[in-house]
Amino acid sequence: MGEFKVHRVRFFDYMPTAIRAMAFNSRTERLAVARTDGALEIFNFADNYFQEKVIPGQDGRAVEALCWVGRRLFSGGLNGEITEYDLENLRPRYTVEAYGGPIWTISGKGTLLAVGCEDGTVKMFEILEQRIQFQRNLDRQKGRIISLSWHPSGSLIAAGMMDMIRIFDAETGRATHRLLVERGVGAPKSKGVVVWSVVFLSDHTIISSDSAGKVQIWDGLTGTLVRTHLVTKWDVLALSVSQDESSLIAGTSEGTVVQFQFISSTVDRQEKDWVRTRTFKNHSHDVRALVHTDTAVVSGGMDTQLVVRPLLDKVEKNTHESAMRKVAFPHRSLVCCAKKAGLLLFQFPDHLELWRLGDSDGHGKPDDILPVKRKPEKLIQLKRKGEDHICCSALSPCGGWLAYSTVTSLRLYRLQNNNISITKVSKLPKDRRSAHQLCFSTDSSKLFASSSNGSVVVVALSQPECRYLHTLKPKSGSRQTVHLLAASEDGKWLATANTDCEIHVYSLGKLTLHCTVPVYSSCPTAMAINPTTSNLVVVHADQQIFEYSLVQKEYTAWSRRLQKQGLHYLWLERDTPITHVAFNPKNPAHIILHDMFMFCIIDQSLPLPEAKNVLYNQMTLRSLPEPERIRHSHAFKICKNFQHLMCVSLLEDHSLVVVERPLLDIMSQLPAPVRQKKFAT
Partner 1 sequence: MAALYEGYTLCGLAPAQNLSNSGIHGVEAERDSDHVVVTDSTRSVTIYKVSDQKPLNSWTVKQGQTLTSPAVYNSQSKEYVAVSDSKVIRIWKEADILLEKAFKATVSSDVWRVHCVAGGEPVVLFHRGAVRLLDSLLSAPQQPIEEVLAQEEAIRWSTNIVTESHTFVIFTTEQKGDHFLYLQRLNPNTLQRYRLEREEPGLSPLSFSASYRDKHIRLLYLYPNGHVYQSVVSVRGLVADEGAQALPLPRSLLLGLPVGEGLLEAASAQALDEAHVAVVGVPHPSAGSGNDFLCIWNTNFQTLQAGKEMAGKIYGQLWSFCNKLVIPHGKTLSVIPYECPKSSLASALGKLRQVKTDEFDAPTSVPSWNNILHEEKAHPSRTVDTRKTRTNRKSQSAPSLTNYQVLELIKTAPVEEVQREVEVLLSRTDIQDLHPSVGQLASALVSRSLADPAFYTPGSLVSLVHTRCLCHSVCPDLVLLALERKDYFLCQLCLQFFPDIPEAVTCACLKAFISMSDVDAEKLSLDPDSVSFTETLIDAECGPVGLLNGFTSTSADGDRSDGLGEGDTRAQQDEEKTSSPPEQICPVGLHKAVLLNEVLQTAYSDSFLLPHLKDLSSQNVVLFLQYLQFLYIKYTHGAVPQMHGLRSPSLTQIMDWVCLLLDAHFTVLVMTPEAKGLLLNLHSFVKSQVRLVSELGKLEGSLQELKKMKVKKDVGQYSIEIIELF
Binding site for partner 1 (CB under 8 A): 1-11, 358-360, 364-370, 372, 375-376, 601, 618, 621-622, 629, 633, 637, 639, 641
Q: How far is the CB of 378 from partner 1 (least distance, A)?
A: 11
Q: How far is the CB of 670 from partner 1 (least distance, A)?
A: 20
Distance CA(32)–CA(42), nearest Å, equals 5
**Of 307, 310, 311, 309, which Cα lies nearest the Cα of 327?**
307
Q: Which residue, 3 or 321, has its beta carbon nearer to partner 1?
A: 3
Distance CA(321)–CA(479), nearest Å, equals 31
Distance CA(6)–CA(26), nearest Å, equals 44
**Of 421, 382, 387, 384, which Cα lies nearest the Cα of 405?**
384
Q: Which residue, 9 or 447, has its beta carbon nearer to partner 1?
A: 9
C-alpha dihedral, 167 to 169 to 175 to 178, nearest 10°: -20
Q: Which residue, 140 or 629, has its beta carbon nearer to partner 1?
A: 629
End-to-end alpha carbon distance in the chain: 50
Q: Which residue, 11 or 94, has its beta carbon nearer to partner 1?
A: 11
Q: How far is the CB of 344 from partner 1 (least distance, A)?
A: 11
User: Any residues with CB less than 8 A from the CB of 128 and at least 6 apart, and which?
Assistant: none
C-alpha dihedral, 23 to 24 to 28 to 32, nearest 10°: 40
Q: How far is the CB of 617 from partner 1 (least distance, A)?
A: 8
Q: Which residue, 174 or 632, has its beta carbon nearer to partner 1?
A: 632
Q: Which residue, 235 or 353, has its beta carbon nearer to partner 1?
A: 353
Distance CA(675)–CA(677), nearest Å, equals 7
Q: Which residue, 215 or 600, has its beta carbon nearer to partner 1?
A: 600
Q: Which residues pair with 122 in a beta bridge?
A: 116
Q: How far is the CB of 8 from partner 1 (least distance, A)?
A: 5
Q: How far is the CB of 363 from partner 1 (least distance, A)?
A: 8
Residue type, 98: A
Q: How far is the CB of 537 from partner 1 (least distance, A)?
A: 19
Q: How far is the CB of 342 from partner 1 (least distance, A)?
A: 12
Q: How far is the CB of 654 from partner 1 (least distance, A)?
A: 12
Q: Is 120 left (phi over 0), alpha (psi -120 to 50) or beta?
A: left
DSSP structural state of residue 170 = T
Distance CA(661)–CA(638), nearest Å, equals 19
Q: Which residues pair with 345 in a beta bridge?
A: 336, 354
Q: How far is the CB of 367 from partner 1 (least distance, A)?
A: 7
Q: What is the DSSP string of 609-622?
A: PPTTS-SS-HHHHH
Q: Which residue, 320 or 622, has its beta carbon nearer to partner 1?
A: 622
Distance CA(239)–CA(287), nearest Å, equals 10
Q: How far is the CB of 672 from partner 1 (least distance, A)?
A: 24
Q: Which residue, 390 or 593, has its beta carbon nearer to partner 1?
A: 593
Using an 8 Å Cβ cutoff, are 62 and 76 in contact? no
Q: Which residue, 376 or 429, has its beta carbon nearer to partner 1?
A: 376
Per-residue b or e along 514-532, where b marks 16 or more CB atoms closer than 10 Å to that residue's CB: bbebeebebbbbbbbbbee
* Sign of the dihedral defined by the CA atoms of residues 473, 478, 480, 485, in that order: negative
Q: How far is the CB of 331 from partner 1 (least distance, A)?
A: 25
Q: How far is the CB of 372 from partner 1 (least distance, A)?
A: 6
Q: Which residue, 114 or 639, has its beta carbon nearer to partner 1?
A: 639
What is the arrangement of strands in the sheet containing 91-97, beginning at the earlier edge strand? 63-69, 72-77, 81-86, 91-97
Q: How far is the CB of 594 from partner 1 (least distance, A)?
A: 13
According to DSSP, the β-strands at 335-338 and 392-395 are unpaired
Q: Which residue, 351 or 629, has its beta carbon nearer to partner 1?
A: 629
Residue 554 burial (C-beta neighbours within 10 Å; 0-12, 13-18, 19+): middle
Using an 8 Å Cβ cutoff, are 536 and 503 in contact? yes
Distance CA(413)–CA(400), nearest Å, equals 8
Q: Which residue, 613 or 618, has its beta carbon nearer to partner 1?
A: 618
Distance CA(459)–CA(475), nearest Å, equals 21
Residue 513 burial (C-beta neighbours within 10 Å; 0-12, 13-18, 19+): middle
Q: What is the DSSP string of 644-680?
A: SEEEEEE-TTS-EEEEE--HHHHHHHSPPPPP---TT
Q: How far is the CB of 369 from partner 1 (least distance, A)?
A: 5
Q: Which residue, 467 or 632, has its beta carbon nearer to partner 1?
A: 632
Q: Which residue, 380 or 412, has its beta carbon nearer to partner 1?
A: 380
Distance CA(414)–CA(382), nearest Å, equals 13
What is the arrangement of strands in the sheet containing 467-472, beginning at the earlier edge strand? 437-440, 446-450, 456-460, 467-472
